[in-house]
Amino acid sequence: MISRRSLLGGLLTAGIAAAAPIAASRQADAQIFIQPPPPPLRIERRPPPPRPGWVWVSGFWTWDPRRRAYVWVPGRWVAGRPGWRYRDGTWVRRGNTWVYRPGGWWR
């Protein structure tokens, strides 16, 4: 016959072993990754357009995950699209992180 003390010890050990993965997964889920906000936009010297009808696309900051830092992408001229307007990209805060909404052509 199993003694009461042995039975309680076995149940206690089994309970701790079963709860360990739950505690570990809750710790992993509790990690919060916060990407810092982008730096202020740079003031760029806009050279003359290469041809009439070209549109200036402003420079912007992009996140480089390998460097874990923002990197500046300089502005540039692009060929215009008749009847369309170009809207520059923008950074938007979503909760504890920042998301880049790329620019594009709009009617």
68-85 per-position pLDDT tens digit: 899 999 999 999 999 999
**Per-residue pLDDT band at 87 (split at 50, 70, 90):** very high
Give the span between the Cα atoms of 12 and 102, in whole angstroms: 56
Find out whether 28 and 13 touch, Cβ atoms under 8 Å. no
More confident residue, 1 or 35: 35
3-58 per-position pLDDT tens digit: 555 544 554 444 444 444 444 444 445 444 557 999 999 999 999 999 999 999 99
The residue ranges of every structural domain in the chain are: 1-31, 54-106
Q: Which of 72, 49, 50, 77 is nearest to 61 (CA)?
A: 72
Q: What global pTM score does this model have?
A: 0.65
Q: Tell me the two tokens of residue 68.
A: 């874990």
